[in-house]
Amino acid sequence: MAHFCTKCGTAATAEARFCDNCGAPLAAAAAATTTSAPAPAPAAPAAASARPAMSPRTMGLIGGAVAVLVIGGGLLAFSLSPESPSAASFTRAIDRHFADNPAARDQLLCFNNLPYKTDPIRADEYDQRTRGWLDTLTRAGVYAAPRTETTGGFFRQTQYVYQLTDIGRAALRENRLCVAAGVQVVSVTGFDQIQKNGDRSTAIGRATLAPVKEADWLSKSPERAAILQRLSGNSMTGQFPLALVDKKWQVDTTPRSARNWPQRADGSADGPLASRPEMPAAAASSPGLLDKLSSMFRFGGHPLVGKWTDESGMVSFEFTSDSMITNSVSVPATFKTKGDDVYITPANGGGQSIIVKMRDADHAALDMGIMSVVLKRVK
């Protein structure tokens, strides 16, 4: 804003310090010397004023977060606590054992009394036990109706030849014939009898089992009950040693628990069931038997010395220390024992040997390559 020289009255600009006309000093601008009034201080908030009210949505979110923390803490505490012994926990442990161990499952569900992967299987005419079982499987659709073959050579014998069907092949696992895809627990006891050994908890679960997804041949067989009876006895039951490991119950397969497994019918203790299919007579053997029998014979003798006949009584043999006699014809021969086998080499046989496998002192099997003749001692 413009102001005037007090001496000569000449107008001057607001920034001028001396008069342009007379040179007299000019007074400072009022605006420069005037002190601005301080702005009024903001009013203090009323003491009675409150914070804004929390919305229902916000309260719900906070409440939900608290609930999640509480529930999560409870679940964590539950997950860290050991699994209680109960029918449910024992059932899960045994079911998991069979699901994770195909070998244990197949031992329970499969027949291993014949080399089922061998196709075809041949049964001797006089081996009624093997033929009876194969005929049962034939009626179930595992094998086609057998055909007969007659072998020639030194001895003539009729064999029954059994060929697998597609249904039979579908039921094979490894070299076994199986009745179902799996197994599950139907009922279990023993969870109320827990043993403590230091910090280790153990129990013996007694379970009843049932096959799952039965094979077509078994479900359609008119002899289903008899087949299952042969596989597992009166019921599919067994005892299972269990232990609390990492706070979970599981089947204990460590060596120290082996004594708790029930023995199979053949005396071994490598499975949970006491009953297993019996071996046909043609498949039986007695390892080490000859070692026990050797002391019964003089030097130069062998276990076959004496008279023998086949199961039909139609064919007879007599063996001396240096010959074999059949149909009143004596043939010089040498005899050599190896394990349970006696090798007979006829003098006129071109160096080829006949093998007789000893089963016990009075029973043997004459091995003819693709067949065998069961012999029993007459005297």
Q: What is the CATH number of the domain that holds 317?
A: 2.40.128.280
**How many domains are there within the chain?**
2
CA angle, 204 as apex, 202 and 206 as ends, to 5°? 150
Low-confidence winner among 44-48, 195-199, 269-273 (lowest mean pLDDT): 269-273
Task: Round the CA-based radius of gyration of the chain to a whole number and report it.
Answer: 49
Who's near 201: CB < 8 A, 6+ residues apart? Answer: 82, 85, 194, 195, 243, 244
Q: Does 226 share its domain with 152?
A: yes
pLDDT value of residue 42: 55
Reading the block at residue 177, the tokens are 């014939």
Q: Residue 100 is part of which domain span? A: 87-281
- Report which listed range, 5-9, 49-53, 212-216, is most confident: 212-216
Same domain, 209 and 321: no
Do 293 and 146 share a structural domain? no
Residues 262 and 363 in one domain: no
C-beta separation of 205 from 93 below 8 A: yes
Percentage of residues in the chain with pLDDT exceeding 90?
8
Residues 260 and 175 in one domain: yes
Query: pLDDT digit string (tens) for 2-43?
Result: 667 877 877 777 777 778 778 778 765 444 444 444 555 555
The pLDDT value recorded for residue 137 is: 93
108 and 231 housed in the same domain? yes
Stretch 269-287: mean pLDDT, rounded? Answer: 37
DSSP annotation of 255 reads G
Same domain, 250 and 359: no
**What's the whole-number mean pLDDT along residues 42-63?**
56
169: pLDDT confidence band, cut at 50, 70 and 90? very high
Contact 235, 245 (CB under 8 A): no
Element holding 32 (H helix, E strand): helix 30-33
What is the per-residue pLDDT for 162?
93
263 plus 333 within the same structural domain: no
Q: Could you tell me the pLDDT band of residue 273, with boundaries at 50, 70 and 90?
A: very low
Residue of higher predicted confidence among 267 and 21 = 21
CA nearest neighbour of 207 among 184, 174, 228: 184
**Which among 153, 120, 161 is positioned nearest to 354, based on CA atoms?**
153
Cα–Cα dist 118/163, whole Å: 9
Q: For the segment 295-351, what is each residue's pLDDT rounded down to a tens digit?
A: 333 334 678 888 888 777 777 788 887 888 876 677 788 888 887 888 888 876 667
Average pLDDT value over all residues in the chain: 72
65 located within any domain: no
pLDDT at residue number 188: 84
Measured at the CA of 230, the angle between CA 224 and CA 236, to 5 degrees, comes to: 85
Instruction: Check whether residue 263 and residue 299 sit in a common domain.
Output: no
Handedness of CA 256, 260, 266, 271 (dihedral sign): negative
Say if residue 111 is in the same domain as residue 255: yes
Residue 97 lies in a domain: yes
Selection from 68-72, 79-83, 166-170, 241-245 with the highest mean pLDDT: 166-170
**Tokens in use for 328?**
């009143």
Kindly report the pTM of this predicted structure: 0.48
Q: Do 271 and 318 have their domain in common?
A: no
Contact partners, residue 189, CB within 8 Å, separation at least 6: 87, 205, 206
- Whether 94 and 218 share a structural domain: yes
Q: What are the residue ranges of helices labelled H in 144-281?
A: 166-170, 216-219, 224-232
Query: Nearest 10 degrees: CA dihedral of 189, 195, 200, 203?
Result: -20
